[in-house]
Chain A
Amino acid sequence: MSLRNITPVKEFEDILPEEYKELVNNGPHSKNKSIDDLGTFKEIVEQHPHCAGCGVSLGIRLALASLPSPEDSIVIGTPGCSFFGLSQSALNYSNTAFGNQSAVASGLKRMLNIRYPDKHKDVMVMVGDGGIADIGLDLTLHSWFRKEKITTIMLDNEVYGNTGGQESGMSKKGTVLNMAPKGKNFDKIPVFDLAKTSGCDYVAKVTVANPKKLGQVVKNAILVAREVGPTYLQIFTPCPTNMKFPPDQTIKIAKEASKDSYSFEEFMTDKAADYLKSLK
């Protein structure tokens, strides 16, 4: 939402809550804030009902703090844990039926291209692992085949957190979860490798334990999606409630994962690399 949209009329200024006034006066709108400035400006996410120590809310917070232009960003979500934090943000956010996020985002992007031909409107899909790898896999893959210029961000907590900890397609093989009492039978769905071969121009894999890299990767993905083609990010966001570890261990678990299964990986096509170089 642009600053003009959220600025109140003079008559209502004194009855608005303090948080709202701070967002208008000290928000990130058109000030080019990045992840290094966190703590000095008012963030666009507000109080949310995520559990204590939640990795998903940390991922959302860091990703939204590193948007290149929050006033021109539109986020599409789907039911799941990520919905709680995103619906409390001062962004244009739209919730869709489970799995439909990429189709809705494609339509919105095409419409916005016609309505604002001289402006970049960043359309992002930000959903959990259930929305992309299980239920929305077909629509996600087809949006990449069609070369829609949208950014897809997966907040991978390896479990269906919102419904009580059932096995998801992105859970690790052998993990004991609800609905998988003998351990999960098959491997993680290789969405990362699928993205590379399905036409994405920029693909990266990070964890929340490395915030600076996360911020840089989100910025690159959105910039590439403006001009070149579809981009995909996979962020590891551990879930203390359903993976059953204490809430102060989230960063430790993410750090351990970044040493083996979730090591930092970045892939870009030559076209995307040239475009990023030309910006610098």
Chain B
Amino acid sequence: MYFTVKVDEEKCIGCKLCILTCPEANVIKLTENNKVCIDTNRCKGCFLCVSVCPKKALEKGNM
């Protein structure tokens, strides 16, 4: 089983805190409408982004 992170697009405010705490490069990116999207194939599942999200828009999940 692989762990990954899911984004709730309604709650995301595009503050980029998750982008600044992810140890993996190029995994979390900003889309054109100022929301984040996650490359689930390359996420290692450390959940650092979940722990810093102020709006709880990111959730732990399985692949």
Residues B25 and A45 in contact, CB atoms below 8 Å apart: yes
Given contacts A35-B20, A52-B44, contact A43 B52 (CB under 8 A): no
Within 8 Å of chain B (Cβ to Cβ): is A57?
yes
Interface-facing stretch out of A6-14, A113-121, A135-143, A246-254: A246-254
* Cβ-defined contact, A57 with B20, below 8 A: no
How many A-B contacts if CB must be within 8 Å? 71
How distant is the Cα of A58 from the Cα of B28 in the complex, in angstroms?
A: 13
Give chain B nearest CB distance to A50 CB in angstroms.
7
Are the CB atoms of A54 and B23 closer together than 8 Å?
A: yes
Query: Known contacts A248-B51, A252-B51; is A39 also within 8 Å of B23 by CB?
Result: no
Chain B residues near A40 (CB-CB < 8 A): 29-30
What does the 1/0 interface line of A51-71 toward B look like (CB < 8 Å)?
Answer: 111110110011000000000
Asked if B26 contacts A250 (CB within 8 A), the reply is no
Q: Kindly supply a per-residue 1/0 record for chain B positions 45-63, scoring 1 wherever the CB is within 8 Å of any chain A CB and 0 otherwise.
A: 1111011100000000000
Closest chain B residue to A58, Cβ basis = B23
B-chain residues with CB within 8 Å of residue A38 when the two chains form the complex: 16, 19-20
Evaluate contact between B24 and A39: CB separation under 8 angstroms: no
Task: Decide yes or no whether B7 CB sits under 8 A from chain A.
Answer: no
Instruction: Give the CA-CA distance A124 to B32 in the complex, in Å.
Output: 35
Q: Which residue of A lies closest to B31 (CB)?
A: A39
Q: Is the CB of A52 within 8 A of B45?
A: yes
A47 within 8 A of B: yes
Residue of B16, B44, B48 contacting most chain A CB atoms (<10 Å): B48
User: In this assembly, does B12 line the interface, its C-beta being within 8 Å of a C-beta of chain A?
Assistant: no
Taking a contact as CB atoms under 8 Å apart, the answer to whether B51 and A39 are in contact is no
Task: Give Cα distance in the complex from A52 to B60, angstroms.
Answer: 14
Which of B19, B22, B42 is close to A47, meaning CB atoms less than 8 Å apart? B42
**How many residues on A have C-beta within 8 angstroms of the other chain's C-beta atoms?**
31
Q: Taking A247-B46, A248-B46 as contacts, is the C-beta distance between A39 and B25 under 8 angstroms? A: no
Question: Does A42 interact with chain B (Cβ within 8 Å)?
Answer: yes
CB distance from B5 to the nearest CB of A (A): 11
Most chain A beta-carbon neighbours within 10 Å: one of B20, B24, B50, B51: B20
From B19, B45, B46, A39 is in contact (CB under 8 Å) with: B19
Closest to B49 in A: A248
Q: CB distance B16 to A58 under 8 Å?
A: no
A residues whose Cβ falls under 8 Å from a Cβ of B = 19, 35, 38-40, 42-48, 50-55, 57-58, 61-62, 211-212, 240, 247-252
Give me the 4 closest cross-chain CB pairs, A-B, nearest first. Answer: A53-B46, A52-B46, A247-B46, A248-B47
Sample of 9 more A-B contacts, CB < 8 Å, known A53-B44, A54-B46, A251-B21: A35-B20, A43-B25, A48-B25, A51-B44, A212-B20, A250-B23, A250-B48, A251-B48, A251-B52
Selected A-B contacts with CB under 8 Å, 28 pairs:
A19-B26, A38-B20, A39-B16, A39-B28, A39-B36, A40-B29, A43-B26, A45-B25, A46-B25, A47-B42, A48-B25, A50-B23, A51-B44, A52-B45, A53-B23, A58-B22, A58-B23, A61-B23, A61-B24, A211-B21, A212-B20, A240-B46, A247-B47, A247-B48, A248-B46, A248-B51, A251-B21, A251-B51
